[in-house]
Structure 1
Amino acid sequence: MRRSWWLGMAAIVWFAATASAVVAAEPNESIARDTPRAPRLVAYLLDRDAPLPAIDAGKLDTVVYSFAVVDADHRVHLPRAGMAERLTQLAERHDGVPRADVLLAIGGWGADHFSEAAASEDARRTFADTAVALVRTHDLDGLDIDWEYPALPGPGISHSPADRDNFPLMLQALREALDALSAQTGRRYRLTIAAADGEAAAGLDLPRIVPLVDAIHLMTYDFFGAGSARTGHHAGLYRSAGASGAADRDTTRAVDEFLAAGVPPHKLVPGAAFYGKAFRTTTTEGAGLHQPFDGEVSFVTWAELQQGYLDTPAFERHLDPQAQAAWLWNPGTRSFVSYESPDTVRAKAAYARLRGLDGLMFWDLGGDDARGTLLEAAHRGLRGGDD
C-alpha cells in the first residue's frame, strides 16, 4: 500500500481519538444531546430468503430489516413469504441477553405508492396505522422510511411536486402513531429516514423533517454508476484529486450539504457500502479511474470480492490517498472495480466520530464475509479501537 495512504489513515485515527475536543472547539459541529453517548453503528439487512446472519449486539446498535412496502391502498405490508417469521426471529428478546434495536425499513429503490400514501390525511393515517401495527406485532423498536425520492420519478415511481410538502405530514402521522404506542407500552420508538444528497434531496423539506425524526441515514454511496459519464469512487470519503466535474459527489460534500441545511450533527448518519461496483472502461488510462466506460455496471459484495477479484493477480490494488477510496484494476479486461476496503470503512467511521455525527450505517450486513471483516472495521473506526 502507498505510504501516503497510511499517513492519511494515521492522521484520521489520531484526530478521531480527540474528537470530543475538536467538536467542542467548533461551534458549527456542536452536539445537542440530553445525555452524551457513543455514536451508533447501524446495519441495514436485506431479506434474502435465507437464514438470518448472526447479529453481534456488542458491535451493532441497530439493525434495519429491509423492506416492507406500501400498496395502492396506502397499506404497509411485508411483501414476501417468510419475512414475518424472519422479522420476529430477528427482534426476539431473550432474558439477560442484549440485542440490537430492530427497525423496519419501508420502501427502497423502485418502491412505489409513497406519493399517493402521503397525499391526504386519510391516506397518511392508513399508512401510519398499518406501519405501526407491524411494529407492535413484531416487537420492533421503530421504523425507517426509505422513499427514493420525494418529488422525483426514480425508476418510474409515482411522484408529484406536492411530495415535498406532504412527506413531513406523513412523518408527523407516523410520529404520532408511534407516540400513541409508546403511551401504551412505556417504550420510546425510533423514526428515521434514508436520504441522499444533491438532486435526490430536492424533495426534502429538512426544516420540517428534522424535528420529527431521530436520525437521517445518508446514503453516501452509489456516487458513480450506470448513469455516470465515467468511472469514479462510488463511496469515496473525500473528493478525488482527479475529479473533474462540479457534480462529482463524495461523503464529505454530502454531509456538509445536510449540515448546511440545518440538520444537526447528532441526527446525521453517513453510510458505508459493503459492496463494490464493476465497470468495463473504454481505455486503459489512469488504471481505470475517471475513465469512460460502456456496458452494464455490476454490483459485487465484499464477500464476492474475496474470490475472483482480491485473490486474483490479474487485478491490481489501488488506493486514492486523497479520496480515501479503494479500487481494483485489471488492464487485460479493462475492468475497474470501486469498492470499500476495511481501511476505507474504518476511515469513514472515524470521520463520522470526528465530525460529531450520530454514527455510521452501512448497506448491507449480508454483503460482509463470514468473518465479519467490514463490520469489525466499522466498529473499530467508530469506537476508536487500537491500530
Structure 2
Amino acid sequence: MYTFKKRTKFLPSLSCLLATTFILALNGCKSEEKKEAETEAGTKPVVIGYVGGFKGLVNTEEIEAKKLTHINYAFVNVQDGKAFLTNEKTDSTNFRKLKLLKEVNPDLKILISLGGWAWSENFSDAVLTDASRKIFAKSSVDIIKKYDLDGVDIDWEYPGMAGEEGNVYRPEDKQNFTLMFQAIRNELDLLEEEIGKKKLLTTAVPGFASFLGVTEMGKAQQYLDYVNLMTYDLFQGDTVVHHASLYATDKYKTEKSADDAVKAYTAAGVPVEKLVMGLPFYGRMFKVAKLEGGLGQKQTSQEYIDGYTYIKDSLVNKKGFKEYRDEVSKVPYLLNASTGEILSYEDETSVSEKCKYVLDKKMAGVMFWEYTSDPKSYLLNAVDKALKK
C-alpha cells in the first residue's frame, strides 16, 4: 500500500492498473456472459438414443445426429468381473462410425452401455468386493479411454432382484450398486484429470417403485449425471394394461405409470433434474381368449413388436386393428376383435405429451429404446418438435 506522498511517483503505474482493471472487468463480463450461455445450453433437454450394437454393424447414415444429444451404445458384456466387448472387431468399427457423427453434431456424446436384459447375470459377482469393483470400474473406463468415448452407462437388470432367468443377485447388491458407481466415478475422475475432458456416468433403471427398496438411489445419484427411467414394460402379472402410461388410471390395479416412477424416484432422493423419461419406440402385443372390452382382461400371451414405423404403417386401423386413445393414461392402443389382440404402444401424440411433462417438471430430458425401431423417425421428429417449443 502506498502513501499520499508517494502517489505521484506511481501515477503511470496507476494508469496501467486502471487500464488493466478495465480489461479484466470487460473480460469478466464476457466470461459471465459465456457462463450464462453455457448454463442456458446446459438446461436444454437431453435426447438419449440407445443404439443396438448387439445387432451387428450400425448403419450410422440413418442416424439423425442433430436430433440427439447422446447415444448409448448397447451393449457391453460383463464377463470374468470385467467390462467385455463380445465382438471387438464389430464394436470398434461401430465406435469409429458413431464418432464420425460428431462432424454433424459436435456436441454429441457417445457412451457405452453395460449389461441390459440379457447380459446382467454377472454384475453381482463383479462388484461384490472393493477389489473386484476397482477391477470392474477400471475395465469399463479403459474401453472409453481406448476408443475416445464420452462415458459409461450401467443397465443392471437388476441388483437385488431377479431379472433374466439365471441372473445372480444377492442382498448385498443394495450397497454394492452404490459402491460400483463410486468406483466408476473415481476412475472417470482420473481419466478427466489425464485428458482434461468431462466424462459421463449414467444408469438405466426400471420404472417401478419396488426397485427403490433394493437400492440406495438417493445415495447413488451423487455419482451420476443422468438416471434414465425405463418407463415402459410397466405391466405386471397376467392383466393386460398399457405398458407405458404417462398417468395410471383407477381401472387396473396392476397398472403403473411414468408419473408414478418420477414421483417415487424424487421421493427417494434423486433430483428431478437428473431424471430422464424413457420412451419405447416399440410396442407390446397382448392376446386374450376373447376380446371383451380390451384392457383389464387376463392375457394368454404377449410379445415384443418392433417397432413404431411398422405399427403406424401396417397396423393402425389396418388388418382388423382399430385405434383407441386413453385420455387418462395419455397413450394409444389397438384392439383386434377377430384375433383377440391388444397392442400397447407410443405414437406422436403420446410422446409429445411426455415431452410436455418433462418440460413442466424440469426433468433432464428423454431417452428411447431403440433407434432402429422407428426408421422413418416418426417419434424422434415428434420429440424434436415438442422439446423445441
Q: TM-score range by the shorter chain?
A: 0.7 to 0.9
Name which of 128, 131, 138 aligns with 2:137.
Answer: 128
Query: Which structure has more helix as a fraction of its residues?
Result: 2
Q: 1:94 to 1:300 in 2, by over 3 A?
A: closer
Give the CA RMSD over aligned residues: 1.8
Name which of 38, 48, 58 aligns with 2:44.
Answer: 38
Alpha carbons 2:65, 2:104 under 8 Å: kept: no
1:214-264: CA deviation from partner (whole Å, max 9, x where unpaired):
11001000012xx52211110010112522x1x421010110000111111
Query: Letter of the aligned partner of 2:39 in structure 1?
Result: T
Alignment of structure 1 residues 58-137 onto 2, 5 Å: 58-71=66-79, 73-80=80-87, 82-92=90-100, 98=106, 100-111=108-119, 112-137=121-146
- Residue aligning to 2:350: 344
- 1:203 deviates by 2.1
Alignment of structure 1 residues 192-271 onto 2, 5 Å: 192-196=202-206, 197-224=208-235, 227-243=236-252, 245=253, 247-271=254-278
- 1:141 deviates by 0.7
- Residue aligning to 1:333: 339
Structure 1: distance between partners of 2:101 and 2:382? 27
Matched, 1:276 2:269: no
1:34-93: CA deviation from partner (whole Å, max 9, x where unpaired):
93421111111112224424332321111101000111x211111135122112221236
Identical pairs, percent: 31
Structure 2: distance between partners of 1:151 and 1:168? 12
Alpha carbons 1:283, 1:292 under 8 Å: kept: no
- 1:324 deviates by 0.2
Structure 2: distance between partners of 1:97 and 1:344? 27
Alpha carbons 1:91, 1:138 under 8 Å: kept: no
Q: 1:51 to 1:190 in 2, by over 3 A?
A: closer
- Runs of 4+ aligned residues of structure 1 deviating over 4 Å after TM superposition are 93-97
Alpha carbons 2:65, 2:101 under 8 Å: kept: no
Alpha carbons 2:242, 2:255 under 8 Å: kept: no
Alpha carbons 1:93, 1:99 under 8 Å: kept: no
1:124-161: CA deviation from partner (whole Å, max 9, x where unpaired):
11111111111011111101000111111212200110
- 1:97 deviates by 5.3
Alignment of structure 1 residues 366-381 onto 2, 5 Å: 366-370=372-376, 372-381=377-386
Query: Letter of the aligned partner of 1:69 in structure 2?
Result: N
Q: 1:96 to 1:320 in 2, by over 3 A?
A: closer
Structure 1: distance between partners of 2:58 and 2:200? 26
- Residue aligning to 1:145: 154
- Residue aligning to 1:161: 171
Unaligned runs of 5+ in 2: 1-37
Unaligned runs of 5+ in 1: 1-33
Alignment of structure 1 residues 309-328 onto 2, 5 Å: 309-310=315-316, 312-328=318-334
Name which of 279, 301, 310 aligns with 1:304.
Answer: 310
- Residue aligning to 1:355: 361
Q: 1:231 to 1:90 in 2, by over 3 A?
A: same
> Higher RCO, 1 or 2 (CA under 8 Å, sep at least 6)?
1
User: Mean Cα displacement is larger for which, 122-131 or 193-202?
Assistant: 193-202
- Residue aligning to 1:55: 63
Query: Letter of the aligned partner of 1:75 in structure 2?
Result: K
Structure 2: distance between partners of 1:252 and 1:347? 12
- Residue aligning to 1:30: none
Q: 1:328 to 1:96 in 2, by over 3 A?
A: closer
Aligned residues: 344
